Amino acid sequence: MRTYFHVDMDAFFVSVEELYDPSLRGKPVVVGGRPDERGVVSAASYAARKFGVHSAMPLRTAYKLCPQATFVDGHPERYREYSHKVYEVLHAFSPLVEMASIDEAYLDMAGTERLYGPPLRAAHLLHNRMKESTRLNCSIGIAQSRLVAKISSDQAKPNGVLWVIPGQESAFLAPLDVRKVPGVGKVTERNLHALGIRKVGDLARLDEAFLEQRFGKWGMALAGKSRGLDAGGWFDTEIGEDEGPKSISHEHTYSEDTADVAQLESTLARLCEMVGRRLREHNLHARTIQLKLRYSDFSTITRAHSVARGTQLDTELFEEIRDLFRSNWKSGAAVRLLGVQASGWAEGDEQLSLMGEERHERWKQTLAAADRLRDKFGESAVSLAASLRGGFRERTHENPAGLPGKKK
DNA sequence: TCTGGGGTCCTAGGACCC
DNA sequence: TCTGGGGTCCTAGGACCC
């Protein structure tokens, strides 16, 4: 028999911001940006949630609901730092830890009984340690499956511990809304409601074959989930396996839509630099490059191209992206968002770029130097994008290593 | 209600191969 | 002359998660 903990930090981004500015404590706080900006709520304090504010809500809407809230920008570095602290606490507690996102983790508690005693006692011990070490609150769900542990940590919020005793899974799940099942979002919820299915119990009573016929592979997984089983999807892999990223992407939404080619291509160059940099950090070479384009009316297209050999070089990424952009952008149409994604890692020999080996080496050294400068002086220290407005073509021709030329 | 950014997984069709 | 059956790779879109 297995015992899993799901540890979920309470209002994580808000709580971290409160550590930096204690005057925020207890107040309605919205993390994500200023109330008049294009963007959505990343996190809302419990005081703000009372007004109906929740994450993913447009900032402007949040402002209408709760104008007295303090709106703060997000600080990803701070969250990464605290996420690491959280991980340290968890890893010291049990070696089998898997961070599921920046603010939540699964622990496999197999064989820890002698050390910590029964599950509830162990969870309270961990709960206290988390608070002492990080000054942050968390909620802990305990169950025989990861799925039920996750749902029970949600039910335990805020700042609580909840153990679903083995054998009680179905009884625990039955009265909950189907939306509580991870993987059931707006659309699936609507589809289930249309069939008269509102509670997890309604789902569990249904015939598996019916669900499969109606929802395909998903239906099968759904049938298992309604009974608390880790079947299908994300819950299949063992805890502790870290396989590295499958894709790396960056995107940008303009504060005002634009149809200015120079501006658009300069943004693409910057996004390519950011993607390239992360590829080099992970020592990955991407074979597939994807452009994402969103117009003013929010209609969105993606266009991808795969090459035989992978790349991690800004300019090679940019050449692919620029071609995709030029052949797919409805010329003159105002653009809301641009995105660049790299995926399909090449391995071994395939990692050699299209360039000759020697030039390739020089390029890598140049980029490594640029990466170091960025570490020191920030993202804008060195830029291909900044040099673009003057005409990228000419520049690349006469100076293939044009990258390090510009300093701001 | 005028809708971020970074990810994962699934589906489905077409190309291509044997 | 009435139309195989896999398998794999690529591409596009969409649901979902935090």
Q: What's the gap between Cα A336 and its chain centre?
A: 21
Spanning CA of A210 to C1' of C14, the rounded length in angstroms is 23
Please state, rounded to an integer, the average pLDDT across all residues of chain A: 89
According to the model, what pLDDT value does residue A194 have?
A: 94
Q: Which residue is nearest to nucleotide B3 (CA to C1')?
A: A58
What pLDDT shows up at residue A73? 96
* A74, closest nucleotide (Cα–C1'): B4
Residue A408 — very low, low, confident or very high, per pLDDT cuts 50/70/90?
Answer: very low
CA angle A74, A29, A103 (to 5 degrees): 55
In chain A, % of residues over pLDDT 70: 86
**Smallest Cα–C1' distance to nucleotide B7: which residue has it?**
A247
Instruction: Summarize pLDDT for A74-101 with one digit per residue, the tens.
Output: 999 999 999 999 999 999 999 999 999 9
Q: What is the pLDDT of residue A293?
A: 98
Q: Can you give the distance from the CA of residue A115 to the C1' of nucleotide B4 in angstroms?
A: 44
CA of A304 to C1' of C8 (A): 18
User: Which bases on strand B have an atom closer than 7 Å to a protein beta carbon?
Assistant: 1-12
Higher pLDDT, A233 or A44: A44
Name, in order, each residue with C-beta under 8 angstroms of A306's C-beta and a sequence gap of 6 or more. Answer: A287, A288, A289, A344
Catalytic residue positions of A, numbered: 104
CA of A256 to C1' of B1 (A): 19
Q: pLDDT tens, A55-69?
A: 999 999 999 999 999
CA A376 to chain centre: 26
Is residue A321 within 8 A of residue A338, CB to CB? The reply is no
- CA A287 to C1' C8, in angstroms, rounded, equals 17
As a whole number of Å, the end-to-end CA separation of chain A is 60
Judge contact between A338 and A252, C-beta under 8 A: yes
Nearest nucleotide, C1' to the C-alpha of A254? B4
Nearest to A303 by CA among A340, A276, A331: A340
Nearest nt (C1') from A43 Cα: C18
Residue nearest to nucleotide C18 (CA to C1'): A101
Which residue reads 């130097």 in tokens?
Answer: A369
Question: Which residues are CB-contacts of A204 (< 8 A; sequence separation ≥ 6)?
Answer: A170, A173, A174, A223, A226, A227
Closest C-alpha to A405, from A385, A383, A389: A383
pLDDT value, residue A18: 97
Which domains are seen in chain A, by residue range? 1-138 (3.40.1170.60), 171-236 (1.10.150.20), 247-399 (3.30.1490.100)
Per-residue pLDDT band at A278 (split at 50, 70, 90): very high
* Token digits of residue A21: 């500015």
What Å value separates CA A152 and C1' B3?
Answer: 30
Q: Which nucleotide is nearest to A42 (CA to C1')?
A: B4
Q: Which nucleotide is nearest to A294 (CA to C1')?
A: B3
Taking the C1' atom of C10, which residue's CA lies nearest?
A: A306
Q: Would you tell me which residues have their CB within 7 A of strand B?
A: A 38-40, 42, 55-58, 60-61, 64, 216-218, 232-234, 245-253, 274, 278, 297-298, 336-337, 339, 343
Q: How confident is the model at residue A237 (pLDDT cuts 50, 70, 90)?
A: low
User: What is the C-alpha to C-alpha distance for residues A303 and A328, in angstroms, rounded to an integer?
Assistant: 8
The whole-number pLDDT of residue A85 equals 97
Footprint of strand C on the protein (CB under 7 A): A 56, 100-104, 182-189, 287-288, 290, 300-306, 344
- Strand C bases within 7 angstroms of protein beta carbons: 9-18
What is the pLDDT, as a whole number, of residue A348? 62
User: What nucleotide is nearest A32 when CA is compared to C1'?
Assistant: B4
Q: What is the pLDDT of residue A239?
A: 75
Higher pLDDT pick, A351 / A53: A53
- Rounded, the Å distance between the CA of A11 and C1' of C1 is 70
Name which residue leads in pLDDT, A406 or A331.
Answer: A331
Residue with tokens 């015939």: A207
Higher per-residue confidence, A395 vs A51: A51
